[in-house]
Amino acid sequence: MRKTVAALTAGALIAGGAMVATAQTDDAETTDSLTQVVEMKRGERISSFFSDMVGQGVISQDQADTMLAELESRHEAKVAEREERREAFQAAWDDEVLTLEELEELGAERILDGEGPFAEALEDGEITRDEFEAIRSELGPRHRRGPGRGLGFGGPGNDAS
């Protein structure tokens, strides 16, 4: 099942890339079609892709429904995990200081990197919110996004979401 979902998801990405390439070389009708696809939400594009696969006889409607349900379930789990992590970090910041132990419990491996940008601030075993925000602002905006794309635990207005 996972291989099938992965294969179809990869197919969706390839199909999306093909649509972009086609739009760059075809007439206005194709460009209009691409505009419609781009304006669709992520879930609508995936549903549309699976509908096309069913329509072409590549997969059955039951298979499409199963894969859509699996993708939705995984998405919901990731959203819940991200929210849980954000709340845990917010709670840990209540005293305006994070200790090494708290960072380990929160899974903040990127901060605990002994050679990373936070190493000097963590020499005393903790990092204050002011130290953290100063380092983060030096690193730039790409470090202000959620888990996997940054540090994942910003302050007010910078929450990972």
Sequence spans of domains, the chain: 2-59, 87-144
Whole-number Å distance between alpha carbons of 48 and 134: 45
Q: Looking at residue 95, what DSSP letter applies?
A: G
Contact 112, 103 (CB under 8 A): yes
pLDDT band, very low/low/confident/very high, at 53 (cuts 50, 70, 90): very high
Contact 50, 7 (CB under 8 A): no
pLDDT at residue 31 is higher than 80: no
Whole-number Å distance between alpha carbons of 144 and 40: 26
Comparing 12 with 55, which gets the higher pLDDT? 55
- C-beta atoms surrounding 49 within 10 Å: 20
Summarize the confidence of residues 53-68 as an average pLDDT.
Answer: 93
Residue 126, SS3? strand
The pTM of this model reads 0.49
Detail the DSSP E strand segments found in the chain.
97-99, 126-128
Q: Which of 23-27, 65-69, 100-104, 107-111 has the lowest mean pLDDT?
A: 23-27
